[in-house]
C-alpha cells in the first residue's frame, strides 16, 4: 500500500477544478500511489470558518466520489477556536482521517493546544505546514519550523504530529536535526526538493518509522526521492505506506 | 543510451555532497542506469579562478572519458578566459560550457559573455546554463543568488543563432517565449527536465508538442539531486517510446555530435 500523506484537492471557486482533481488521480495511477490524504485549502487566508468548512465539504464530496483513493484531512484555522473544534469533531465523525493546519498560527501558540488535545482524544494525526529558511519569509511570518514542531510534539507526546514537507520547506538538514529530539513526531517527505541524501539523513537521524511518503503535488519528486534513496526495502515500504497505515489503524482502519 | 546532461563533480560550500568524485558518480550512474553524463565542476562555481575547478575535473575524469563528458565552467568576466577556453577544449576535451552569470557577477547581455558564447560556438561547444543550482528557500545565510531570468535567455538565443544552448534546472518555459511554438526564436536550444512536470501540469509534454521531442533532454542534477526523479518523469510521461528514447539520450547524442 502506497499512501501519499500530503496532497491537496483543487479549490472549487473557479473553472477547471474537476480536471485538476482528475489529473491528481491520474498522476497517482501512473505513479503507483494507492491513496491520497487530501485537504482543500481556501485561497483566502487566514481562513475564516465559512471558507474552511466549505473546503472540507468539498473534501467530503471527493471522498464519496473516490472512496478507494481519497482520504480526508479537515483543514481549520485554530484561531476560530469554537468553530475549529466543532468542525474537526464533525469531520472525523464523518470519516476524515486527520487535521491539516497551515500557517495561520505558529504551532507554539496556545491557541493550537486545544486542537491537539481534541486530536489526541479522536486518535487522528495533525499534518502541520512547516519550513525553515535562513531569512525572513515575508509571505509566511507565522510558519512553524522544526523546532516549534518538536516542542509541540514533546508537549503532547501522545499526539501524532506530522511535520510537513521535508523537501519543500527550506533547510531540510535543520528540520531533520530539529526533529531528532521529538521521538513521537513524524515528518512527511514531500516537496519539490529532491536533494540527494535527504531521505538517508532523515532515516539515520529520525528513524524510518517516523517518515511518511508524500508529494504535496510534486508527484515525481515525491516518488522519485524515496525510490532512489539508499535504504533497505523494509524501510522503503514503511515510508511508502506502512507507517501511515499504522497511524490510520489507531482509530480503526484505513477506510 | 541514457545520457544525463546535468551532472557535477566536486564540492559545494554549503552542503556536503555525496557521490561527488568520479568513482562515486559512476556508482550512482550504475545504480540509476545512466550510461554517460555531462559533468562540470561544482567547486568551480565558487572558485574565483574557475579554471582551477576545470583542472580538478580533468583529473577526476581521466580514465573515465567513455562515460564522463567534461563541461567547463568559465567566467567571461575573469581574466584570460580565452586561454582557459582553449585549454578546456583542446587539452581537457570539454564538449561544452556551464555558465553562471549570477554567481560570477555578469549579465548574459554583457559583451564579455557574448564573446565567450561566440567563441564556444566557433568551436562547436554546447553552452549550458543552469538557471539555478539550489532551491532558493534553502540558501545559506551568507548568500542570495537569484535565478537566471527566462527573458534573459530569449535575448541570448536570438543573438547567437549559430550556438547550441542547453538550459538546466529551470521551469515555467511554457509561460515564456522559450516554450512557445510560434515564438520566432531560433531552434538552437534544448531544455533539461530536472524541474519540469511530467504529470498534471505536464510541462514536458507541452514542450514536446510546442518545440518538438528533439528539444527536450534528460538532466538529473546529480549528485546535488537524486537521479531517479528525473528518470521517473520520462518513465511516466504520456508519450511514444521514441520520444522517451530521444529525451533519455538520443537528443544529447546529437547535440554532442
- Under an 8 A CB cutoff, do A220 and B144 touch? no
| CB contacts, 8 Å: A26 with chain B | 199-200
What per-residue confidence (pLDDT) applies to A251? 85
Select the residue of A23, A170, A224 nearest B226 (Cβ to Cβ): A224
Using the beta-carbon criterion (under 8 Å), do A135 and B15 form an inter-chain contact? no
A197/B200 Cβ within 8 A:
no
Using the predicted structure, report yes or no on whether residue A220 has a pLDDT greater than 80. yes
Q: How many helices (H) and strands (E) does chain A have?
A: 10, 8
The per-residue pLDDT for range B143-177, each reduced to its tens digit, is: 999 999 999 999 999 999 999 999 999 999 999 99
- Give me the total of CB pairs closer than 8 Å, taking one residue from chain A and one from chain B: 86
**CATH number for the domain including B203?**
3.20.20.140
Pick from B28, B225, B233: CB nearest A195: B225
- Tens of pLDDT, residues A135-160: 999 999 999 999 999 999 999 999 99
Q: Are A219 and B197 within 8 A, CB to CB?
A: yes
- Rounded Cα distance between A33 and A27, Å, is 8
Could you report the per-residue pLDDT of B193-204, keeping only the tens digit for each? 999 999 999 999
Q: b or e along B148-173 (b: 16 or more beta carbons within 10 Å of the residue's beta carbon)?
A: bebeebbebbeebeebbbbbbbbbeb
Task: List the single residue in A26, A30, A194 with the smallest CB-CB distance to B229.
Answer: A194
Instruction: Give the domain extent around B29.
Output: 3-256
Which own/partner contact pairs does B18-22 have at CB distance under 8 Å and 24+ positions apart? B18/A196, B18/A197, B18/B223, B19/A196, B19/B222, B19/B223, B20/B223, B21/B60, B22/B60, B22/B61, B22/B64, B22/B68
pLDDT at residue A254 greater than cutoff 60: no
ipTM for the predicted complex:
0.97
- The band of B25, judged by pLDDT with boundaries at 50, 70 and 90, is very high
Contact call for B200 and A27, based on CB within 8 A: yes
Question: What domains are there in chain A, each with its CATH number?
Answer: 3-249 (3.20.20.140)
Q: How many domains does chain B have?
A: 1
Mean pLDDT of A88-104: 98
**How would residue A89 be classed by pLDDT, with cut points 50, 70 and 90?**
very high
Contact call for A196 and B225, based on CB within 8 A: yes
d(CA A128, CA A185): 11
Q: What is the pLDDT of residue A255?
A: 43
Amino acid at each position: 500500500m502506497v499512501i501519499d500523506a500530503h496532497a491537496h484537492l483543487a479549490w472549487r471557486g473557479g473553472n477547471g477544478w474537476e480536471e485538476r482533481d482528475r489529473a491528481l488521480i491520474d498522476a497517482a495511477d501512473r505513479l503507483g500511489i494507492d491513496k491520497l490524504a487530501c485537504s482543500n485549502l481556501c485561497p483566502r487566508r487566514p481562513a475564516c470558518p465559512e471558507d474552511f468548512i466549505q473546503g472540507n465539504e468539498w473534501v467530503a464530496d471527493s471522498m464519496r466520489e473516490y472512496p478507494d483513493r481519497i482520504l480526508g484531512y479537515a483543514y481549520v484555522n485554530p484561531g476560530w477556536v469554537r468553530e475549529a473544534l466543532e468542525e474537526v469533531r464533525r469531520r472525523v465523525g464523518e470519516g476524515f482521517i486527520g487535521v491539516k493546519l497551515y500557517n495561520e498560527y505558529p504551532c507554539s501558540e496556545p491557541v493550537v493546544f486545544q486542537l491537539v488535545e481534541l486530536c489526541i482524544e479522536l486518535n487522528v494525526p495533525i499534518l502541520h505546514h512547516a519550513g525553515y529558511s535562513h531569512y525572513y519569509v515575508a509571505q509566511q511570518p507565522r510558519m512553524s519550523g522544526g523546532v516549534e514542531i518538536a516542542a509541540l510534539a514533546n508537549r503532547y507526546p501522545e499526539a501524532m504530529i506530522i511535520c510537513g514537507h521535508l523537501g519543500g520547506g527550506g533547510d531540510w538538514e535543520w528540520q531533520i536535526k530539529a526533529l531528532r529530539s521529538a521521538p513521537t513526531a513524524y515528518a512527511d517527505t514531500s516537496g519539490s526538493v529532491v536533494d540527494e541524501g535527504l531521505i538517508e539523513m532523515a532515516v539515520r537521524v529520525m528513524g524510518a518509522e517516523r517518515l511518511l511518503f508524500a508529494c504535496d503535488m510534486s508527484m515525481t519528486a515525491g516518488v522519485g526521492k524515496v525510490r532512489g534513496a539508499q535504504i533497505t526495502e523494509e524501510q522503503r515500504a514503511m515510508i511508502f505506506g506502512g507507517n501511515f497505515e499504522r497511524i490510520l489503524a489507531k482509530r480503526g482502519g484505513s477506510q | 543510451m541514457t545520457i544525463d546532461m546535468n551532472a557535477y563533480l566536486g564540492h559545494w560550500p554549503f552542503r556536503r555532497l555525496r557521490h561527488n568524485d568520479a568513482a562515486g558518480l559512476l556508482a550512482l550512474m550504475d545504480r540509476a542506469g545512466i550510461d554517460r553524463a555531462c559533468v562540470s565542476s561544482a567547486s568551480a562555481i565558487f572558485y574565483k579562478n574557475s579554471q582551477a575547478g576545470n583542472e580538478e575535473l580533468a583529473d577526476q575524469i581521466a580514465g573515465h572519458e567513455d562515460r564522463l563528458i567534461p563541461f567547463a565552467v568559465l567566467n567571461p568576466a575573469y581574466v584570460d578566459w580565452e586561454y582557459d577556453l582553449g585549454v578546456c577544449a583542446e587539452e581537457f576535451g570539454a564538449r561544452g560550457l556551464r555558465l553562471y552569470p549570477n554567481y560570477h557577477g555578469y549579465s548574459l547581455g554583457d559583451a564579455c559573455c557574448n564573446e565567450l558564447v561566440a567563441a564556444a560556438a566557433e568551436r562547436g561547444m554546447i553552452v549550458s546554463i543552469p538557471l539555478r543550482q539550489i532551491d532558493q528557500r534553502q540558501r545559506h545565510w551568507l548568500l542570495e543568488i537569484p535565478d537566471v531570468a527566462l527573458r534573459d535567455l530569449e535575448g541570448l538565443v536570438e543573438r547567437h543563432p549559430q550556438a547550441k544552448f542547453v538550459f538546466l534546472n529551470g521551469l515555467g518555459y511554457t509561460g515564456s517565449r522559450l516554450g512557445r511554438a510560434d515564438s520566432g526564436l531560433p531552434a538552437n536550444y534544448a531544455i533539461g527536465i530536472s524541474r519540469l512536470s511530467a504529470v498534471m501540469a505536464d510541462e514536458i509534454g507541452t514542450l514536446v508538442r510546442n518545440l518538438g521531442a528533439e528539444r527536450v533532454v534528460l538532466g538529473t542534477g546529480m549528485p546535488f539531486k537524486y537521479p531517479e526523479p528525473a528518470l521517473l518523469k520520462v518513465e511516466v510521461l504520456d508519450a511514444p517510446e521514441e520520444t522517451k528514447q530521444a529525451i533519455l539520450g538520443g537528443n544529447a547524442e546529437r547535440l554532442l555530435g
